[in-house]
Amino acid sequence: MPNYRTHLIGGAFTYMAICCLLVFTQKHYSLNFAQLLLGLYLSLLGSIFPDIDIRSRMQRLFLLFVSPIFFTAIIYQQWKLLIILSASILFITLVKHRSLTHNIWFILGLPLCIALPTIAYTRLATHVVFLMYIFFVFGALSHRFLDYGPRKFFTR
């Protein structure tokens, strides 16, 4: 079973693959440095996200990665975002290991529940939010791939 280092390496490779795809498919589209860093951050965060449901180094690492988002929400007085993130993390810590957080629909759906209100209530460009969603989701899917392998990736 892969440990947190393996999952972080998988998230980094996923990030590089997405960036390469963006370079080869979008000739006139470029990400600025801050967006590239945020994409790497979200890919790494997604790569350890499915194991938030167990007390482990990955759970502590995930909470460490999420803490800047909490502090930013407090500084900018984004109370709805803070409540949603807090409730999500509390809920996730109460489920059994490899049940909900390793489900493909959950991996696709939870970030979407954060991305859609972000598009609706902020001035961020839709394509930037969509790319950040892609970075996080594919990071989380890399975790699932490393846990189950190619044969069980779609069946579990």
Segment 79-118, tens digit of pLDDT: 887 887 888 778 767 777 777 888 899 899 989 988 888 8
Residue with more model confidence, 47 or 149: 47
What are the structure tokens assigned to 23, written together? 């370079």
> Each residue of 16-67: pLDDT tens digit?
999 988 888 876 566 788 989 999 999 999 998 888 877 777 777 778 888 8
Can you give the pLDDT at residue 86? 84
The helix/strand/coil state of 30 is coil
The helix/strand/coil state of 56 is coil
Confidence band (pLDDT; 50, 70, 90) for 149?
Answer: confident
Phi, psi angles (nearest 5°) of residue 24: -80, -25
Interatomic CA distance for residues 41 and 66, integer angstroms: 10
Averaged pLDDT of the chain: 85
Confidence band (pLDDT; 50, 70, 90) for 6?
Answer: very high
Does the pLDDT of residue 1 top 70, yes or no?
A: no
Does the pLDDT of residue 156 top 70, yes or no?
A: no
Interatomic CA distance for residues 123 and 120, integer angstroms: 8
**Residues in contact with 121: Cβ distance below 8 Å, sequence separation at least 6, in sequence order:** 80
Burial track 28-61 (b if 16+ CB lie within 10 A, e otherwise): eeebeeeeeebbbbbbbbbbbbbbbbeeeebbeb
Can you give the pLDDT at residue 28? 59
Contact call for residues 134 and 6 (beta carbons, < 8 A):
no
Query: What single string gives the DSSP state of each residue in 69-119?
Result: HHHHHHHTT-HHHHHHHHHHHHHHTTSPTTSSTT-HHHHHHHHHHHHHHHH
Can you give the pLDDT at residue 27? 62
